[in-house]
Each structure stands twice: as C-alpha cells, then as structure tokens.
Amino acid sequence: MVETIITKDISFACEILKKGEVVAVPTETVYGLAANGLNLAAVKKIFEAKARPFNNPLILHFANQEQIDPFILDFPPILKQLTAVFWPGPLTVLLPKSNLVDDLITGGKAQVAIRIPSHPDFHALLQQVGFPLAAPSANLYGMVSPTNAEHVYNQLKGKIPLILDGGPCEKGIESTIIGMENEQVIVYRLGSISIEELALHLGEVPQIKNEATENGIASGMVKYHYAPRTPLYFYDASSTNMDQNNGYIFFKEYPNNTKIENAIVLSETSDLQEAARKLYSALHEFDERGFHHIYIERFPEQGLGATLNDRLNRATEKFKA
Ligand code: TXA
Ligand code: MG
C-alpha cells in the first residue's frame, strides 16, 4: 500500500514520473494512468495498478508532432490530414512503430497507438517531462473510466502515489481510435469524435471494425468492459418497473416528466455532448449509492449517441444471464 496524494502541482507530477512512478493525469476525455513510455519498469506498474492483462496495448501520448516522428515508421497522408484537424484532441491513431517502442506498449503488435491530448495540464506535463507518456484510462481493468480525480481515488487509492487533479473531464468519454487497412481509414473504437465528424473531413463514411474478437483485444476492444460494479441493464419504458432500490439514468427527461430522487437526467436540452460528459460520472455516483441495479435509457444512435450506446452495450453484456 502506498499513500495516494491528490495534487494540482504539475511540476510535482513531473518529478514523480521522472522517478519511474505512475501518476494519474487529467485528459480532455477521461483520466489516464501515466508512466514514462520509455521506461519498461515504470510501464509495468501501470498494468499492475490496474490489474490489466499485459497483452492489452497502451496509447502513447505526446506533446507535439516532432516528438512523435522517431517512434513511427510511416504516417499515411489521410491519417495526417485527420490529425491536423483533431490534434491536440480526442483522436488516437494506430501507426507502424519504430523499434524505439517496446512490445510491452503494443502488446507485441506492429502498430502503436498515438495521441496528442488537449487538456492544458496534461499538455504542460508532457512538455515538462520530455518523454512520451503511456497511459490507459485510470480505472481498474474492465470498470468505468474516471472523469474526475475522486473517481480515480475511489478505484486506485493505495495502489498509486499521485493523482494530478485537473478538474472534471471536458468530453467525458474516451478518444476515437482510427488506423488504416488497404488504403482505407478504419475506426477501431467509437469515441469522443463521432463517425459523422470524421466523415465530414474524409469525404466518406469510414468503416467501423470494433467487434470484440476471440481473445478480446485484437482490434483494441474487449466485449465486457466499461461496466459499473452494480448490475447494469437497459431501461425499457414498457417493461422496466420503477423501484426505490434501483437507480435510473435517462437521456433527456424523467418518465411522465416526474422528477424522482433515484434518477438522473443527463441533458435536459437533449445535448449528446452534455450526456457524454456526465454519463460515467452518473455510473460512478450510482455505484457509490449502493443500488441493487442500474437501468439506463439507450441513446439515439447518431453522433456521440452511437459511442455512448457502444459503451453501454459492452457494459450490460457483462450482466446478461
Ligand atoms: O481517451 C483515451 O483514449 C484515454 C486517455 C487516457 O488517453 N485512454 C484510453 O486508454 O482509453 P485505454 O487503454 O483504456 O484504451 C485504449 C484502447 C485499448 O482498448 C487498447 O487495446 C487499444 O486502445 N490499443 C492501444 N494500443 C493499441 C494497438 N497498438 N493496437 C490496437 N489497439 C490498441
Ligand atoms: Mg480503458
């Protein structure tokens, strides 16, 4: 057990990272659990703290484009065109790795996942440390990603020395992961940047390949994932009985427009960005409140709604009989 400190001091976080320790960091998507991506002993601590299988690869985060170049062999122009639009920000690209990237980072794969984040504290930290930071989401393996420092503390206290508190995450949902196959852009994980936004800049709708595979991670996706501790089910207006012992999460309104204490409405203005920002927080809160079950309404399957439904499909899968 270590004492877990929460700080706003970026230089202190920098110092701890330089010592080869892990630090939880704020990003615009979700909190990450970071370590020096060039120090294997430090990277191993990430897997240990999260209880994450070693074959599940990590994203490398950089401060700028020049820093990336030595770590990749090629950057296809179409992908570069997209990163020019979305970086710094919630887009992760899979690129052929150079031999400076260890197999521990990529799970033995030939491609490395790369992102330049926009959160000002994380960006400043990346500039200060000078090395890439490997960072998965800062939750225990398979659980809901944290979107504030307290969520991280609740899951990882005693397991990590430091949490850099950069406030609540602006996006609230993980980055979109893309790559190339046969000259085509492929989306491997739906995320904070919607398919529609990508299509706008690509001139066509990209193919999505985010199915869980046999060992669960070939394309970076696991079937049972993003789940709260409390059993989670989809809410169905015609068959779900409301009960005081359960928690309910709705997109834009309460049933019959009647406010109840054990329910949360994510966005009264039907804003999917607001819903995305609040979704994980609602799941964390309901986990803390000790409900027997959580029921959640499906989102409209467009824009960020498709991303949110993707997470809920994976999370509810875990509780199917
Ligand atoms: O928004 C985000 O992406 C956050 C913040 C911290 O940057 N990070 C994040 O990391 O969500 P993580 O590890 O929880 O999810 C990254 C996903 C994993 O499913 C992993 O398997 C996949 O990306 N991935 C990472 N490197 C990969 C690679 N080389 N090839 C295929 N999939 C990869
Ligand atoms: Mg994760």
What's the rounded Cα separation, in Å, for the pair 181 and 290?
A: 45
Mutate to test the pocket of ligand 1, among 46, 54, 92 (most ligand atoms within 8 A of CB): 92
Q: Which pLDDT score, from 0 to 100, does residue 218 have? A: 46
pLDDT in tens, 50-83: 999 999 999 999 999 999 999 999 999 999 999 9
29 lines ligand 1 (CB under 6 A): yes
pLDDT in tens, 143-180: 999 999 999 999 999 999 999 999 999 999 999 999 99
Among protein residues, the one with the nearest Cα to ligand 1's atom 22 is 220
Contact 26, 143 (CB under 8 A): no
Please name each of the domains of the chain with its CATH number: 5-175 (3.90.870.10), 232-317 (3.40.50.11030)
137 lines ligand 1 (CB under 6 A): yes
Mutate to test the pocket of ligand 1, among 52, 59, 73 (most ligand atoms within 8 A of CB): 59
Averaged in consecutive runs of 10 residues, what is the pLDDT profile of the chain (321 residues)?
97 98 98 98 98 95 97 98 98 98 97 98 98 98 97 98 98 98 96 98 96 57 85 95 96 94 97 98 96 98 98 93 73
56 lines ligand 1 (CB under 6 A): yes
